[in-house]
């Protein structure tokens, strides 16, 4: 379970770990004679039993998580925390028990599953039951604080409250500096109370990680990539260097445009960009400022949001359209239970975790998504993202639980996005969403700009979150410098700056879901690179020969077969094998991303001539 993908993962992971509820042999105290000299046969039996136990505990935990996430209350938080506690207790014990097979000659499958067991939790708990309980409760409460977060001008009057969706809509649509600032500041107030809890969380999580043999929680997270944590660190740097020049060009161009709009006093032409002006609560993707930076205004913007609204689609219609992309590749339709059990819309009368996620609650094709869908382009793309997770689950659910994960977590995050790259204007015209799509060089640049604002702008953000967390877990960034460390990295990687003073009384990292939700984030950085690599491979498979940015694999069963083959491997093989299955390549590589954006890069470089880039 654990390495499950997604958010769900979060859950799972977060809390994950199994525990059990209940009955059953508590794991694994071996009979005395076995303890003396364990055999490979015993190791195989051990792994089989762990898979069985994990299934029981994880299903229980996922159900509790689902209920909590779709109905946040004091009680559902506690029930979910208890289920997590049980999973954590079981998993840590199983990891300890598995040590007796250390050094034994094992078959590949058994060895791999034992390895996956060790790295399966994103939040391992200490063995001390009181500490474990405390950790499970803090984890649930942190996520609860985020999910319930609201900003009220009159706390006594719910009518005056705004939640993340309301505030995000301000960030997306307003062009008024002060109004933006108010929404940006407002959301960050919900994170302040998380600060002492997060400090305790870090210390307990680290203790759990040390007990299962890692230096700290960050080292455990970096151990999930079929290479040493140090090698992984270097791998992330290598990929970042491949794409950083593109980001710097985009940053330079966008900064100049924002400076024109807001004035050079507010957006200094050579400094970092104020973090609240980029159309998104975390400045993680910038497509909402497209109107301010549009390359060719006469070309007519392709406004998918307007088209979706005009066609009167419901949230369910949008999910159906997403599914139809997958089935066009020859993949199976979603099960009926998906349509019965998913949450597509934000309930009017209760708090839920609106952050989108995809689930297989029973690890048995019990697929669901949980979203608060708004009828707009961003959510249309997110639907594809979530369905990518569901289709991964769909094709590996028959594997042992320990293999029910992505080849690595970046693969899981990249599947839906890969398909979404094929949601081109021509495809949208084909399915009747858009009419009269224009084709010209100018239209290409416009479209690429919009995509770059989503994909290239994301890259440094995707990297910096865990740069911060890895340092926090290692103690490099201490509790008295959480915010300072955060903003230093924001500036260094993203070239953005806080629009006002941030103090150590605040806890800005907590205003981003994955921090209180304890979801590792480097996966998204990797996914943003891998999705172009997957896209290039599938386009080749589909027989497409033009420039990469024009390809859509819609309708290609050849591409679908390749994709399916990789999904069905789950985590059963080291990830380079999975990458090879889909692309013939064994290393992650950003050259497909660079190739995809080649027309835009050339154009932006011309625009930036005479400008001083960087910050
Ligand atoms: O969290 C998500 C998905 C669920 S796994 C909606 N994403 C990251 C984010 O929102 O911060 C997708 C892209 C990055
Ligand atoms: Zn995801």
pLDDT tens readout for residues 530-544: 999 999 999 999 999
Q: Is residue 490 over pLDDT 70?
A: yes
Q: Provide the pLDDT for residue 31.
A: 53
- Tokens 């505030």 — which residue? 167
Question: Residue of the nearest CA to atom 2 in ligand 1?
Answer: 356
Ligand 1 center to 70 CA (angstroms): 18
pLDDT tens digits along 540-578: 999 999 999 999 999 999 999 999 999 999 999 999 999
Rounded CA gap, 114 and 480, in Å?
38
6-16: average pLDDT: 35
Angle at 563 between CA 557 and CA 569, to 5 degrees: 135
Q: Is 18 helix (H, G, I), strand (E, B) or coil?
A: strand
39-66: average pLDDT: 98
Identify which has the larger pLDDT, 196 or 18: 196
Angle at 584 between CA 578 and CA 585, to 5 degrees: 80
423-446: average pLDDT: 92
Q: Is residue 14 over pLDDT 60?
A: no
Instruction: Tell me the average pLDDT of the chain.
Output: 94
Q: Is 356 in the pocket of ligand 1 (CB under 6 A)?
A: yes
- Tokens 């689950």 — which residue? 393
385-399: average pLDDT: 98
Q: At what angle do helices 409-420 and 377-396 cross, to 10 degrees?
A: 130
Q: Is 531 in the pocket of ligand 1 (CB under 6 A)?
A: no
What backbone torsions phi and psi does residue 330 show, to the nearest 5 degrees?
Answer: 90, 5
Rounded CA gap, 16 and 90, in Å?
10
Q: Is 33 helix (H, G, I), strand (E, B) or coil?
A: helix
pLDDT tens digits along 360-371: 999 999 999 999
Question: Residue of the nearest CA to atom 7 in ligand 1?
Answer: 524
Q: In the Cβ-directed half-sphere of 541, how many Cα atoms lie within 13 Å? A: 23
DSSP state of 333: P
- Tokens 């939640």 — which residue? 163
Q: Is residue 30 over pLDDT 80?
A: no
> Which of 172-181, 296-305, 307-316 has the lowest average pLDDT?
296-305
Q: Is 447 helix (H, G, I), strand (E, B) or coil?
A: helix
- Tokens 């006093």 — which residue? 265
Question: Residue of the nearest CA to atom 8 in ligand 1?
Answer: 524
Ligand 2 center to 8 CA (angstroms): 9
Q: Is residue 236 over pLDDT 50?
A: yes
Ligand 1 center to 310 CA (angstroms): 27
DSSP state of 370: E
Q: Which residues contact 137 (CB under 8 A, 6 or more apart)?
A: 77, 78, 81
The proportion of the chain whose per-residue pLDDT surpasses 90, expressed as a percent, equals: 92
Rounded CA gap, 471 and 219, in Å?
10
Ligand 2 center to 160 CA (angstroms): 32
Q: Is residue 183 over pLDDT 80?
A: yes
Ligand 2 center to 524 CA (angstroms): 8
The proportion of the chain whose per-residue pLDDT surpasses 70, expressed as a percent, equals: 94
Rounded CA gap, 164 and 148, in Å?
9
Q: Is 288 in the pocket of ligand 1 (CB under 6 A)?
A: no
What backbone torsions phi and psi does residue 267 show, to the nearest 5 degrees?
Answer: -125, 90
Q: Provide the pLDDT for residue 556.
A: 98
pTM over 0.85: yes
DSSP state of 497: E
**What are the C-alpha distances in Å from 63 to residues 68, 335, 348, 513?**
9, 18, 22, 21
26-34: average pLDDT: 51
Identify which has the larger pLDDT, 15 or 480: 480
Tell me which residues have their CB within 5 A of the ion that is ligand 2: 6, 413
Residues shown for the chain:
615
For residues 82, 85, 86, 90, the Cα torsion angle rounded to the nearest 10 degrees is 180
Q: Is residue 372 over pLDDT 80?
A: yes
Taking every pair of Cα atoms in the chain, the longest distance, rounded to a whole number of angstroms, is: 81
Q: Is 285 in the pocket of ligand 1 (CB under 6 A)?
A: no
Angle at 252 between CA 246 and CA 253, to 5 degrees: 95
Ligand 1 center to 524 CA (angstroms): 7
Q: Is 382 in the pocket of ligand 1 (CB under 6 A)?
A: yes
Q: Give 190's pLDDT tier (boundaries 50, 70, 90).
A: very high
Rounded CA gap, 329 and 553, in Å?
8
Rounded CA gap, 132 and 129, in Å?
5
Tokens encoding 252: 């330079």
CB-based contact 47:97 (threshold 8 Å):
no
Q: Is residue 21 over pLDDT 60?
A: no
pLDDT tens digits along 595-609: 999 999 999 999 999
Q: Is 600 in the pocket of ligand 1 (CB under 6 A)?
A: no
Ligand 2 center to 410 CA (angstroms): 9
Q: Is 307 in the pocket of ligand 1 (CB under 6 A)?
A: no
Q: Is 7 in the pocket of ligand 1 (CB under 6 A)?
A: yes
């Amino acid at each position: 379970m654990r390495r499950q993908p997604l958010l769900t993962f979060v859950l799972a992971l977060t809390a994950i770990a199994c525990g059990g509820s209940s009955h059953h042999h508590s794991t694994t105290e071996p009979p005395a004679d076995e303890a003396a000299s364990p055999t490979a046969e015993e190791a195989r039996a051990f792994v089989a039993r762990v898979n069985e136990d994990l299934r029981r505990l994880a299903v229980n935990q996922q159900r509790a998580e689902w209920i909590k996430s779709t109905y946040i209350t004091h009680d559902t938080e506690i029930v979910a925390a208890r289920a997590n506690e049980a999973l954590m207790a079981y998993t840590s014990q199983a990891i300890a028990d598995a040590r007796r097979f250390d050094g034994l000659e094992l078959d590949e499958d058994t060895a791999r599953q034992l390895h996956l067991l060790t790295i399966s939790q994103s939040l391992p708990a200490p063995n001390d039951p009181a500490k474990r309980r405390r950790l499970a409760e803090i984890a649930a409460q942190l996520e609860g604080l985020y999910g319930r977060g609201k900003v009220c001008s009159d706390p006594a009057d719910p009518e005056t409250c705004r939640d993340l969706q309301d505030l995000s809509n301000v960030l997306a649509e307003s062009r008024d500096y002060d109004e933006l600032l108010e929404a940006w500041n407002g959301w960050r107030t919900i994170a302040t109370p998380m600060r002492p809890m997060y400090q305790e969380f870090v210390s307990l999580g680290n203790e759990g990680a040390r007990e299962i043999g890692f230096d700290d929680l960050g080292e455990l997270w970096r151990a999930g990539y079929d290479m040493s944590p140090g090698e992984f660190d270097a791998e992330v740097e290598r990929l970042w260097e491949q794409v950083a020049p593109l980001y710097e060009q985009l940053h330079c161009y966008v900064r100049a445009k924002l400076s024109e709009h807001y004035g050079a006093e507010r957006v200094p032409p050579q400094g970092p960009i104020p973090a609240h002006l980029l159309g998104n609560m975390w400045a993680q993707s910038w497509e909402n400022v497209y109107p301010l930076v549009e390359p060719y205004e006469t070309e007519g913007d392709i406004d998918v949001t307007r088209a979706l609204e005009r066609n009167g689609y419901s949230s369910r219609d949008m999910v159906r359209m997403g599914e139809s992309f997958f089935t066009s590749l020859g993949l199976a339709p979603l099960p009926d239970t998906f349509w019965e059990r998913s949450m597509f819309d934000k309930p009017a009368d209760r708090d839920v975790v609106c952050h989108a996620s995809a689930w297989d609650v029973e690890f048995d094709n019990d697929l669901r998504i949980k979203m608060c869908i708004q009828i707009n382009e961003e959510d249309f793309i997110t639907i594809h993202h979530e369905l990518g997770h569901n289709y991964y689950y769909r094709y590996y659910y028959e594997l042992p639980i320990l293999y029910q994960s992505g080849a690595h977590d970046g693969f899981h995050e990249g599947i839906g996005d890969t398909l979404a790259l094929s949601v081109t204007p021509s495809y949208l015209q084909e399915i009747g969403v858009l009419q009269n799509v224009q084709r010209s060089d100018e239209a290409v640049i416009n479209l690429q700009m919009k995509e770059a604002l989503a994909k290239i702008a994301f890259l440094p953000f995707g990297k910096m979150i865990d740069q911060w967390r890895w340092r926090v877990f290692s103690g490099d960034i201490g509790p008295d410098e959480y915010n300072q460390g955060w903003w230093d990295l924001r500036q260094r990687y993203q070239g953005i700056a806080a629009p006002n003073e941030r103090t150590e009384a605040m806890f800005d990292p907590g205003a981003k879901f994955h921090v209180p939700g304890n979801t590792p984030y480097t996966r998204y950085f990797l996914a943003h690179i891998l999705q172009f690599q997957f896209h290039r491979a599938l386009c080749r498979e589909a027989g497409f020969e033009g420039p990469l940015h024009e390809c859509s694999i819609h309708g290609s069963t050849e591409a679908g077969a390749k994709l399916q083959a990789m999904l069905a491997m789950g985590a059963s093989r080291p990830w380079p094998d999975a990458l090879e299955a889909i692309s013939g390549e064994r290393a992650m590589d950003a050259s497909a991303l660079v190739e995809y954006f080649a027309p835009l890069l050339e154009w932006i470089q011309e625009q930036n001539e005479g400008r001083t880039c960087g910050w």
